[in-house]
Structure 1
Amino acid sequence: MERIKRSLQWILPIFCLFVGLQEVNGQFLKKLGKRAEKAAERTVERRVEKETTEKTDQVLDSILEPGSKGGKEAKSPAPNNKPVENTKVGGSETSKNSGAANIPNSSAGAGKKEIAIYSKFDFVPGDKLLFFEDFSDEFVGDFPSKWNTNAGGEVVSVNTSQEKWLELISGYNIYFIPDVPALPDEYTIEFDILTQGVDSKTSSTAILRIDLSDDDKFKEGENFVQASIPFCQYSAIGITMENRINSKREIYSVVKADLRDEILNTPHISIAVNKQRFRLWVNEEKHIDIPRIVPEGEVLKTLKFHMNNFKDGKERVFITNLKVAEGGVDLRRKLLSDGKISTNGILFNSGSADIKPQSMGIIRQIYQVMQQDQSLKLKIVGHTDADGDEAANMKLSKQRADAVKNALVSVYKISSDRLETEGKGETDPVGDNSNPEGKSQNRRVEFISQ
């Protein structure tokens, strides 16, 4: 009997422990069950969301591109970050050290879908050209003659593009200042960005800053507006906006924006300043629209670029096709009042009739006029600069006029019998074909009321 009592003294605690463990285990399993149930719910939600998105894309594709099968468009590949050892530009050979970059030209060959995506793009460039720079007259390896800096930088070639680019250098208090005339009250700024070596390790503080300043040298100034475009890839940083009025900050804000894919795929930046109002687009999307950030009056005369926190030699940033133009006039009213408008804001890929999608702001305004006045008929006239063969330019100008007509018909559903096209090639210049600014003025499209 004593032996049984001693055994029970050992067995009872173990039994109680076992029962307790069973209870704890049961609670644990119950929690696991709830977590599994929630995980299953999330999986179902994600699957439903994915399938819904795919179906929505198919419907949108069928609307924007009649006859398409609704397949999703693949993402553009990230740029190739391998440097080029040797690239020939204009008959001269440049070495790796001269800054040649093996980066695809992602702006080439804009398709119908991309054009359709830009159908609500409402940026309209100024109509009086103040400055244009594509570095076509500059030697690769040199700092461009129409710019100033307190550091360095050079013009480089890109082996898959006919364009040249200015490579900007990152550093403390370093500025790149184009020789733009004093900025007026209302104007627009456009340029393209190219990157190399930007990846998941790029700093969250790596930015390209666009400055409008009252200082024409290498200081921020007492009055300025700054827009900082982020290059970070591991997080969506947002666009930082800041100003000073008489050395006093009035606005400092970070506007939510995920630009990671855009930064890797040659984004087009558009800025419109209308007195105190500042707007900024990245490709077709407007991210900034601040009504009173610019100091009143014609105070901010100078455009500057500044880069910060990029790794030297690894992360490289380039810009080209910088265009500054006065105005941003409402072309709709001008067409209705004058019966004719001419614009160099409709852009094409070099040597082709492929419309660059950022041109859709102007084409959209033409559509709005034709929608308002159903009796209006237009002649669309294309013009080129004098580069290349005269007969080829004549043909190209007609093709470009036809491309504009096709955009109005296919994207905005304007009846084709309301539109007539003509090409004049290089025969009717309005600018000097011996310099980039004049060539840019000559590459234009006219709309004439019939």
Structure 2
Amino acid sequence: MKKLKEKASNVASDLIVKKGAEKAERTVDGKGSKGTVQETKSGSAEGKGVKESGKAGTTSYSKFDFVPGEKIVFAENFEQDVIGEFPLKWFTNGNAEVVTVEGLAGKWLKLVSGLTLSPTAPFPKNFILEYDMIVNLPVKTSAIYPHWQFQIFERGDKAVKLSYDGYKLKNSLSYEISFQDQFADVTLTATENARVKIRTDRAKMDDFEENYGGGVVHVAMAAQDERLRIWFNAEKVFDLPLAVPINHNFNQMMFYSAKVKEGYPAFYISNVKLSEGKPDLRSKLMDEGRFVTNGIQFDPGSDNIKPVSMGILGEISKAIKDNNIKVKVIDTVCEEYLSQTRKLDIPG
């Protein structure tokens, strides 16, 4: 009986890890030079030789205030797409294909050149947008580094948008990255009613190659009314009070990569997720008496909480302290497992 209980407990722990863990921020230790991503030839991308990206640990995330959205509106990880092919329902005027990457689970969209547009999906007024990106730039090269642009917009005619990058959009938000030898410059532009609402100065990200090169960078955007915040991993690059167009109807994303030298695909993306904006934790706890989140993430195969969870944990802690709330934490994955074992008459 005791062994059965231990076995059930172990299986429950495995389920918690498998369902609760997301892909960690990682750097691929390929056989090439630093920053070189090795693609796999088979559909399996599981492998060794993976370490945490950059220097970011729990300490550096202590002021990380990003909170994931509550209701997912759109998600894409390319799992349904064929390796070596362009993903279904997406659009491009350049060169892109679905691949796997050595040392990383799942599939990635390799962007070599041109514009790539997502399927359309209505954005909530207040939204959270996230995606993972691998910046794969050659460390030693005499060539000019390619630049990267990401944009969200509305009412876009994809045929016109793909044929002419200067196509005017009514409302849009975009940021562009220019890469230098050891740093990167990021600029943000917003349009409202086809006029420029804001164009920022360059935000310099020092030691970009050391902290982000060759590894998975988690990009997060949070729009709350007109306020816009953007993070690269734990680093908040922008916090702008008047950037988001009023009464926007965003419904599409654009990823742009300038053409790079053959053999050096510069960018990969995956795990794109659009969700409704930051939940009101206080009202959830006070009025409904409960709060459910998928924002607390664990390292794969471990009970260690991932640093990117610090934002939601801080929000929960503040709501509890400010309102003197007593809480009970329930792991729904474990509860689901125990429910199933009871049906099978396995001692819990």
Q: Alignment partner of 1:380: what SS?
A: coil
* 8 Å contact kept, 1:213–1:221: no
Partner of 1:251: 198
Q: Residue by residue, what CA displacement relative to the aligned partner does 1:410-443 show, whole Å, maximum 9, x if unpaired? A: xxxxxxxxxxxxx434969xxxxxxxxxxxxxxx
**C-alpha distance 329-84 of structure 1, shift in aligned 2 (>3 A):** closer
Partner of 2:17: none
Q: TM-score, normalised by structure 1?
A: 0.59
**C-alpha distance 318-304 of structure 1, shift in aligned 2 (>3 A):** same
Matches within 5 A, 1:264-275: 264=213, 265-275=215-225
Dislocated runs of 4+, deviation >6 Å: 100-103
Q: Alignment partner of 1:319: what SS?
A: strand
CA distance in 2, matches of 1:282, 1:202: 27
Q: Residue by residue, what CA displacement relative to the aligned partner does 1:230-278 show, whole Å, maximum 9, x if unpaired? A: 443x142321111233433342221232233232132111111123222
Cα distance, 1:84 vs structure 2: 5.3
Q: Residue by residue, what CA displacement relative to the aligned partner does 1:366-389 show, whole Å, maximum 9, x if unpaired? A: 111233245513223242xxxxxx
CA distance in 1, matches of 2:235, 2:279: 20
Instruction: Report sequence identity in percent.
Output: 28
CA distance in 1, matches of 2:168, 2:308: 32
1:123 aligns with 2:40: no
CA distance in 2, matches of 1:202, 1:333: 56
Q: Residue by residue, what CA displacement relative to the aligned partner does 1:177-203 show, whole Å, maximum 9, x if unpaired? A: 222411121111111111334324376
Partner of 1:89: 43
Cα distance, 1:167 vs structure 2: 0.4
**C-alpha distance 202-213 of structure 1, shift in aligned 2 (>3 A):** farther
Higher helix share: 1
Higher relative contact order (CA 8 A, sep 6+): 2
Q: TM-score, normalised by structure 2?
A: 0.75
Aligned length: 300
Partner of 1:322: 272
Q: Residue by residue, what CA displacement relative to the aligned partner does 1:14-71 show, whole Å, maximum 9, x if unpaired? A: xxxxxxxxxxxxxxxxxxxxxxxxxxxxxxxxxxxxxxxxxxxxxxxxxxxxxxxxxx
Cα distance, 1:287 vs structure 2: 1.2
Partner of 1:165: 108
* 8 Å contact kept, 2:27–2:216: no
Cα distance, 1:299 vs structure 2: 3.4
Q: Where does structure 2 lack aligned partners over 5 or more consecutive residues?
A: 1-25, 341-348
Q: Which structure's CA Rg is the greater one?
A: 1
Q: 1:188 aligns with which of 128, 137, 140?
A: 128
Higher strand share: 2
Code of the residue aligned with 1:185 in structure 2: it is: K
Partner of 1:40: none
Partner of 1:227: 175
Partner of 1:139: 82
CA distance in 1, matches of 2:178, 2:49: 21
Q: Alignment partner of 2:297: what SS?
A: coil
Matches within 5 A, 1:263-302: 263-264=212-213, 265-302=215-252
Cα distance, 1:323 vs structure 2: 0.9
* 8 Å contact kept, 2:78–2:108: yes
CA distance in 2, matches of 1:121, 1:227: 21
Q: Alignment partner of 1:304: what SS?
A: strand
**C-alpha distance 134-427 of structure 1, shift in aligned 2 (>3 A):** farther
Q: Alignment partner of 1:169: what SS?
A: strand
Cα distance, 1:328 vs structure 2: 1.7
**C-alpha distance 374-282 of structure 1, shift in aligned 2 (>3 A):** same
Partner of 1:153: 96
Matches within 5 A, 1:350-361: 350=300, 352-361=302-311
